[in-house]
C-alpha cells in the first residue's frame, strides 16, 4: 500500500477512558505504514465549552499523555495542538467566503445539538458552533489528507468536507484539494459500568489512567444479572455488563465464563475478579509509559512544539496555494 496521508483529531474534553482505547489503537496501527497527523482540537472544544475554559490546558495535557501512553509515537506521527497551527484558522476564514450558509444549517447534527444542549441550559446558537464542520474541513484539507479515521457519527462532517473541497476546486479551477475518505474501523462498543453509554460525565467510565485498585473497584461496581442472588443461581450472561467486557478483554475464556455463569458454577465476585485482572494486564504497559511521561513534563512541551512546527510546514504550503488561487 502506498503511504497515504492520514489525519484525525479529538476534542480535549477530559481524560480518556478504555472505551477510547480501540480508537487510539487504530491510530497506532495506521502510523506504522502511513504519514499520520493527529491533533488535539482545542478550538473545537471551545465551540461548546466557551463559557468555561478553565480546564482546557489541563485537558490538552491529559489527552496528550493518554495518547502517548496508548502508543502514539511522535517520531512516526505528527502530533500537535490545533491552535498552535494558525493556518487552520486562515483556511477556515477563506473557506467561509465560499461556503453557502444553507450547507452548514443542513448538517444533520446541527439543529439537533443546538436544541438538545439548549434544553440543558447551554446556548450554542453561536457563529462558532455553526461553523464547526467548516473548521473541521479546514483541519483536514489543509494537509490534503486522503483518509480520515473517524467514528460513524462524523460521516456527515466528512461528506461536508468533500463538498467544500469540490466547490473550491471548481470555483478556482485548480485541483488543489483531494476529497478525503472516511476510514471506519470496527470499534468495540464498551458500555459504562452501569450499562449506559460510557462517559466521564456519568462517572461510569474506567479511565485509561486508572490504578489497579481503581480498576478493581470499578469492576466490582459493574451491573450484573439482577436475578442472580446466590452463587448457585443460574445466570444470564447476555444481560450482564461484566460479560460484555469478558467478550472483549477475555476472549480466550469466554465460552467457559458463559457456561459457568449459566450453570451457577461461578459467583459474580470471582467472575469480576478475573475480569479486573485482565483489564489490568491490558492497562499495565500504558501505566508504565504514563509514569515515565509524567516525570518529564518538558518532554510533552517539546513533542507539541516539534509537532506544530512539522504541521506548519505542510499547512503553510497549502495556504500559499490557496491564497494564490483566491487572489490574496
Ligand atoms: N469533530 C471531531 C470529533 O468530535 C473532532 C475533529 C475536529 C476532527 N477536527 C477534525 C476529526 C478533523 C477528524 C478530522 O470527534
Ligand atoms: Fe455476569 Fe459473571 Fe455474574 Fe455471570 S457470573 S452474571 S457473567 S458477573
The C-alpha cell of 283 is what? 492497562
Residue 108 scores a pLDDT above 60: yes
The best mutation among 5, 6, 7, 11 to test binding of ligand 1, ranked by most ligand atoms within 8 Å of the C-beta, falls on 11
Q: Which residues contact 121 (CB under 8 A, 6 or more apart)?
A: none
Topology annotation, domain 209-290: Tyrosyl-Transfer RNA Synthetase (1.10.240)
More confident residue, 241 or 188: 241
To 5 degrees, how large is the angle CA 158–CA 106–CA 44?
A: 55
Q: Does the Cβ of 237 fall within 6 Å of ligand 2?
A: yes
The C-alpha cell of 271 is what? 467472575
Q: Does the Cβ of 224 fall within 6 Å of ligand 2?
A: yes
C-beta of residue 88 within 8 angstroms of C-beta of residue 138: yes
The C-alpha cell of 191 is what? 458500555
Report which bound ligand comes closest to the CA of 241: 2
Residue 276 scores a pLDDT above 70: yes
- Same fold? 5-190+297-326, 209-290: no
| 286-322 pLDDT, tens digit each | 999 999 999 999 999 999 999 999 999 999 999 999 9
Q: In this prediction, what percent of the chain has a pLDDT beyond 70?
A: 99
Which residue's entry shows cell 479486573?
276
3-state secondary structure of 328: coil
Architecture of the domain defined by 5-190+297-326: 3-Layer(aba) Sandwich (3.40)
Q: Residue 215 Cα, ligand 1 centroid: separation in angstroms?
A: 29
Instruction: Report pLDDT for 231.
Output: 87
Instruction: Report pLDDT for 109.
Output: 85
Which residues sit opposite 35 in a β-bridge?
A: 5
Instruction: Report pLDDT for 287.
Output: 97
| 120-179 pLDDT, tens digit each | 899 999 999 999 999 999 999 999 999 999 999 999 999 999 999 999 999 999 999 999
| 67-79 pLDDT, tens digit each | 999 999 999 999 9
Residue 274 scores a pLDDT above 70: yes
Rounded CA-CA distance 147/100 in Å is 25
DSSP E strand boundaries for 127-214: 147-149, 181-183
Question: What's the average model confidence in pLDDT over 23-39?
Answer: 96
**CB neighbour class for 327 (10 Å; exposed up to 12, middle 13-18, buried from 19):** exposed
Instruction: Report pLDDT for 306.
Output: 98
Q: Does the Cβ of 242 fall within 6 Å of ligand 2?
A: yes
Which residue's entry shows cell 512544539?
305
How far is C-alpha 4 from the geometric centre of its chain's CA atoms? 20
Which residue's entry shows cell 476472549?
251
State the average pLDDT for the chain: 95
Instruction: Report pLDDT for 189.
Output: 83
Burial 21-48 (b: 16+ CB within 10 A, else e): bebbebbbebbeebbbbbbbbbbbbbbb
Atom nearest to 139 CA in ligand 1? 12
Q: Which residues contact 37 (CB under 8 A, 6 or more apart)?
A: 5, 6, 7, 8, 77, 78, 80, 143, 145, 311, 314
Residue 1 scores a pLDDT above 70: no
Residues 117-121: contacts with CB under 8 Å, at least 24 apart: 117/48
C-beta of residue 252 within 8 angstroms of C-beta of residue 281: no
Q: In this prediction, what percent of the chain has a pLDDT beyond 90?
A: 91
| 220-267 pLDDT, tens digit each | 999 999 999 888 999 999 999 999 999 999 999 999 999 999 999 999
Q: Are strands 147-149 and 77-81 parallel, antiparallel or unpaired?
A: unpaired
Q: Where are the domains of the chain?
A: 5-190+297-326, 209-290
Dihedral, 126, 129, 133, 136 alpha carbons, nearest 10:
120
Nearest Cα neighbor of 8 from 67, 91, 94, 56 is: 67
Amino acid at each position: 500500500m502506498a503511504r497515504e496521508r492520514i489525519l484525525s483529531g479529538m476534542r480535549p474534553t477530559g481524560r480518556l477512558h478504555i472505551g477510547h482505547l480501540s480508537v487510539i489503537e487504530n491510530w497506532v496501527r495506521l502510523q506504522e505504514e502511513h504519514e499520520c497527523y493527529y491533533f488535539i482540537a482545542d478550538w473545537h472544544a471551545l465551540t461548546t465549552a466557551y463559557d468555561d475554559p478553565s480546564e482546557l490546558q489541563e485537558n490538552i495535557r491529559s489527552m496528550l499523555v493518554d495518547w502517548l501512553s496508548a502508543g502514539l509515537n511522535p517520531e512516526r506521527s505528527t502530533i500537535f495542538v490545533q491552535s498552535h497551527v494558525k493556518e487552520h484558522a486562515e483556511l477556515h476564514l477563506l473557506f467561509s467566503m465560499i461556503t453557502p450558509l444553507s450547507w452548514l444549517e443542513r448538517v444533520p447534527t446541527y439543529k439537533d445539538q443546538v436544541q438538545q444542549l439548549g434544553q440543558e441550559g447551554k446556548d450554542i446558537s453561536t457563529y462558532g458552533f455553526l461553523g464547526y464542520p467548516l473548521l473541521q474541513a479546514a483541519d483536514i484539507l489543509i494537509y490534503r489528507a486522503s483518509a480520515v479515521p473517524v467514528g460513524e457519527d462524523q460521516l456527515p462532517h466528512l461528506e461536508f468536507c468533500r463538498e467544500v473541497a469540490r466547490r473550491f476546486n471548481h470555483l478556482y479551477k485548480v485541483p488543489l484539494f483531494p476529497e478525503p475518505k472516511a476510514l471506519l474501523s470496527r470499534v468495540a462498543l464498551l458500555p459504562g459500568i452501569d450499562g449506559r453509554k460510557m462517559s466521564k460525565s456519568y462517572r461510569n467510565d474506567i479511565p485509561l489512567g486508572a490504578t489497579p485498585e481503581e480498576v478493581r473497584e470499578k469492576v466490582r461496581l459493574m451491573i450484573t444479572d439482577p436475578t442472580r442472588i446466590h452463587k448457585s443461581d443460574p445466570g444470564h450472561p447476555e444481560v450482564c455488563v461484566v460479560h460484555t467486557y469478558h467478550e472483549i478483554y477475555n476472549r480466550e475464556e469466554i465460552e467457559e465464563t458463559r457456561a459457568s455463569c449459566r450453570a451457577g458454577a461461578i459467583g459474580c465476585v470471582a467472575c469480576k475478579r478475573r475480569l479486573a485482572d485482565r483489564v489490568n494486564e491490558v492497562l499495565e504497559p500504558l501505566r508504565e509509559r504514563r509514569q515515565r511521561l509524567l516525570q518529564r513534563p518538558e518532554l510533552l512541551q517539546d513533542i507539541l512544539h516539534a509537532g506544530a512546527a512539522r504541521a506548519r510546514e505542510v499547512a503553510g504550503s497549502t495556504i500559499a496555494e490557496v491564497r494564490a488561487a483566491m487572489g490574496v
